[in-house]
Amino acid sequence: MGNLDDVLEQSFARTYEPFIDVLERFPAMRVALHYSGSLLDWLVERKPEFIGRLKRLAAAGQVEILGGAYYEPILPAIPDEDKIGQIRLLAERLEELFGVKPRGMWLAERVWEPHLPRPIRRAGMEYLALDDSHFRDAGCAELDHYYRTEEEGYPVDIFPISEELRYLIPFKAPGEAISFFRERRDAGKPRLFVLADDGEKFGGWPGTYEAVYERGWLEEFFTLLMEQEDWLSVVTFDEYRRLFPPRGPLYLPAGAYREMKEWSGGFWRNFLSRYPESNRMHKKMLAVRRRWEQLPEGEPRRRAQRLLWAGQCNCAYWHGVFGGLYLGFLRAAVWQKLLQAEKLIDDHLKEPPYLELQRGDFGYSGAEEIYLYTDRLNLLLAPQLGGSLWELSWRPAAVNLLDTLTRRPEAYHKDYLEQAAPSAPAGEPASIHHLRAVKEEGLLEQLAYDPYPRVALIEHFFEEDLTLEQFARGSYREGGDFLMQPFEVQVDRLPECEGGGAGVQVTLQRQGAVGEAAPLLLQKKITLRAGEDSFQVDYRLANLGDREVFLRFGVEFNLAFLSGSDEERYYAIPGRELEDRRLGSHGAEEGVPEVTLVDRRRNLQLTLSWPEPALLWRMPVEAVSLSEGGLERSYQQSLVLPRWDFSLAPDESRDLGILLHLAAAGEREPVPAPAREEAGT
């Protein structure tokens, strides 16, 4: 979900179509193919003639079409009913397109947990392939056959994928794979060896198109296989099951392929602990699903379910050698589907304008959070983390502006810093797992890690008059003890006002210290009303000490706008012409009363305004991460920080206000002046 159209076009031209071109020239060759529902949807719309070619191959018995879950979710991460529903949905689609009813399936990322046989079999699937590492973890040494497992009496057959074959094909000379089979030939019994892996390794991974097609690797491999037909047979899963029964029962522990276990620390769900960004999406998905259950049967329920399922697509929830979580457009696509589902559900169950307040441990961290949502906006506040803001979704555009990412160490950062790039033999592409390519000179020097989560409503007290460059490098020390510390919280309902809906005000405050232990009260009030595209944040800073204190006070907002270099996404400050207005630009502007971040691609703009002019910092937050092509720098979000410098005498307080307003790009609605509002009962 969310993959770029030009990426799909390139994958089709370099992988999907040329593979079938070669396969059609070898009618005796047998393969199993799996296409995700998302890719099928694209192929049906953009390449309908390709669907026809696949149908003819399936009808001829040359291709076995495998099923799976429609939107490629990690099955253990979604409810059983969704597992069953998604698998059945893809099976129905495959039968409609190809006239075949799949009995076997592809398990996304081969992430296995022992409870899966029950929902898989209930969905109509009978078999799948898992990596040989799964079997070894269960103490199974005989990997030349397939086995049967079960859960609660629901049986599923499991085939062991050979890791050695995965690294031979197509990265070594075709003859080496034939030698692999010949060395393991046994005159006394038939032996099974399974290759099941990413189709993109045949043309999509770096260097493979040239090797596989231009230099003829695949054609030579198929030719060699056919030449060994007196002792070596190529069969599909379904054919092999008709020839030989399974062994069993065999019970496999939770696992995945070896590389995934390395990336995840042994267990896929660890990604949800390691990356709060992934956990937020996952828990949002579960929360939306619980609300979906309230919908009565009918078309809205079916539409919301498809949106919810699309939001379960696995790619943005984890990170390994592919971009995954680090690709903002993949995260944005997940959030878009979940927010569209949420809005559809709420608009069907409630009469706009509406406002709801929920309190609970939504991230399952052990700390209470506050979730506010209206017919226009969603806000998620974390009192135990400085009262910071973790979700800011504008429902009309189905966009979460806090779909941000915190930069953190990855194991491969150290590998790149310490190891020289391994070289592949001449004429052979390196496996994607062995690449050490760097896409940009000096990239390793730009590695930076964030000492706190990059979200919004983050208050800073700076000890010195530091520069934006020092702040960007993290070469400074906080001048107070407020950053991400627990705040007291009070929630008050506001009565309906003239021309507006009901409101709520959340008051967060902390008594802490700045400078040389000078006592200070920091209070912020967030006011939100139903039906409005804005919310107000009012600050009060009070000197509780007996001497004057000088404050350099700033409020940090990280805002996700997908690209820092797109001319259609930019900053606008009234009355000023910025030398570089793109969202990837750096800058410090004095005396700014307002800034707007415009996104014409998604037709939205976000305006931050404050009545008292401030020094405004702006900068991009860019991560260094690994993708198929090597190490790369990727824009994650834009950081804006208004800052005020002032003194407070003993017992003196200072009030500051910030208004955040969202609108369609170019519609420049009048923004009301920030005003404090007293809470009612």
Picking from 84, 1, 11, the residue whose alpha carbon sits closest to that of residue 38 is: 1
Listed in sequence order, the residues at least 6 apart from 322 whose beta carbon sits closer than 8 Å to its beta carbon are: 315, 626, 627, 628
Q: Dig out the tokens for 399 from the structure.
A: 């966009």
Q: With H, G, I as helix, E, B as strand and everything else as coil, classify residue 494.
A: strand
Whether the CB-CB separation of 325 and 318 falls below 8 Å is answered with yes
CA distances from 496 to 134, 314, 357, 531 (A): 59, 42, 15, 11
Picking from 589, 552, 571, the residue whose alpha carbon sits closest to that of residue 460 is: 552
Strands of 171-329, DSSP E: none
Provide the greatest CA pair distance for the chain: 95
Whether 198 is catalytic: yes
Dihedral (CA of 118, 122, 126, 128) sign = negative
Picking from 239, 60, 73, 83, the residue whose alpha carbon sits closest to that of residue 151 is: 83
Whether the CB-CB separation of 581 and 570 falls below 8 Å is answered with yes
DSSP state of 202: T
DSSP state of 669: P
CA 275 to chain CA centroid, nearest Å:
10
Picking from 371, 394, 392, the residue whose alpha carbon sits closest to that of residue 382 is: 371
Determine which one of 9, 21, 81, 198 is catalytic. 198
Q: Dig out the tokens for 601 from the structure.
A: 């691609």
Q: How far, in Å, CA of 557 to CA of 645, rounded?
A: 18
Q: How far, in Å, CA of 124 to CA of 110, rounded?
A: 18
Q: How far, in Å, CA of 487 to CA of 388, rounded?
A: 10
**Locus of tokens 């097609």:** 213
Picking from 535, 570, 553, 506, the residue whose alpha carbon sits closest to that of residue 656 is: 553
Determine which one of 82, 109, 342, 369 is catalytic. 109
CA 484 to chain CA centroid, nearest Å:
24
607: which strand partners? 596, 661
Q: Which residues of 77-114 are buried (b: 16+ CB within 10 A; e: fewer)?
A: bbeeebbbbbbbbbbebbeebbebebbbbbbbbbbbbe
Picking from 235, 25, 241, 258, the residue whose alpha carbon sits closest to that of residue 134 is: 258
290 in the Ramachandran plot: left (φ > 0), alpha (ψ -120 to 50) or beta?
Answer: alpha
Q: How far, in Å, CA of 198 to CA of 177, rounded?
A: 17
- The secondary structure of 380-441 as a DSSP string is EEEGGGTTEEEEEEEGGGTEETT--------HHHHHHHH-PPP-PPTT-PPPGGG---BSST
Q: Which residues are catalytic?
A: 109, 198
